[in-house]
Each structure stands twice: as C-alpha cells, then as structure tokens.
Amino acid sequence: MKGKALTLLLVEDNEDHAEIVRRSFRSHQVANTVHFVTDGEIALDYLLRRAEYSDPKKSPRPDVILLDLRLPKVDGLDVLKEIKQNEELHRIPVVILTSSDEEHDVATAYDFHANSYVVKPLDFKKFTDLMRDLGFYWLGWNTKPFVQETID
C-alpha cells in the first residue's frame, strides 16, 4: 500500500456522495488519485480511452472501480457488463456502491461478475467507515494482476 501510486475510478452521479467518497480517501491516504465521473457514458469513454480520454496519460488504468448503478446515459449494470467483457479491463475489481438493495440488482450485478456489492449507508459516519474499510481492503490487501500496457 505505501509507496504505490494507486488509482481509483469513482462512477457516481450524486455529488454529495462523491464528495464523501473523495474526502474519505483523502483523509485515510489510501488512494493517491481518485478519478471521478458522473455518468455511464463518460465512464466508458475513460475506460475504453475514447473521445476526450483517448490519450492514455489522461486515463490511467484504475486499480479499483467504484460503480453506482443508477447513472445517467448508460446504466451502471451496462457499464459493469462492458467492463467484464473487455479483454483489457475485466480483471480490474469492480465494487458496486449503490443505494439499491433490490434483490434483482444484487443478483444481476453478480451475474455480470461484479467483485463485490455494497449498499451506501444513510449515516454519514458509517459511510466514511465503509470508505475506509473498502479502501484498505481493495487497495491494500487485494492483489490485482499486473497489466502489460501498450502505450505509444
């Protein structure tokens, strides 16, 4: 964890929630960089390196993706499906971070190979505790495969 430049991609359309996530990661000093996008289409632009993100330097591969489900333009489950079907992206851990505890959402997320599914707590303190634990676990303990990047 220490000394590694770790990148997190946060896909979240709720600005307040995004702020809590970013602040928590800053205060726990877990991730060096949090990239934040607010809809499913920009998330895919970032990950697939299209449009404004076609320069790989503007879109470094994240070490973990936090993905909300109800997103504008492209829904979270479709983003998840795209990630897990993509040769270069499918090994990146995707943690669904959502207000939904609907059984259908949970089941579908796992069917599409989400690594984990977490429901956002309503309580602010609990939310920050979650972010701390989530950060330490996915960026600290979990091992991601090394990806050979072809950057020209």
Check residue 101 for interaction with other proteins (CB under 8 A). yes
Per DSSP, 6 falls in state -
Q: Which is nearer to other proteins, 26 or 90 (CB)?
A: 90
Q: Residue 124 phi/psi, 5° resolution?
A: -60, -45
**Of positions 23, 107, 123, 124, contacts other proteins by CB under 8 A:** 107
CB of 4 to other proteins, least distance (A): 14
Cα distance between residue 127 and residue 93, in whole Å: 20
Check residue 123 for interaction with other proteins (CB under 8 A). no
**Of positions 2, 146, 151, 152, contacts other proteins by CB under 8 A:** 146
Per DSSP, 26 falls in state H
Q: Per CB under 8 A, which of residues 61..100 are in contact with other proteins?
A: 90-91, 93
**Residue 73 backbone zone (phi > 0: left; psi -120 to 50: alpha; other: beta):** left
Residue with tokens 């707590």: 121
Asked if residue 59 lies in contact with residue 65, where contact means CB atoms within 8 angstroms, the answer is no
> Largest alpha-carbon pair distance within the chain?
46
Check residue 106 for interaction with other proteins (CB under 8 A). yes
Binding site for other proteins (CB under 8 A): 90-91, 93, 101, 103, 106-107, 110, 113, 115-119, 130, 133-134, 136-137, 140-146
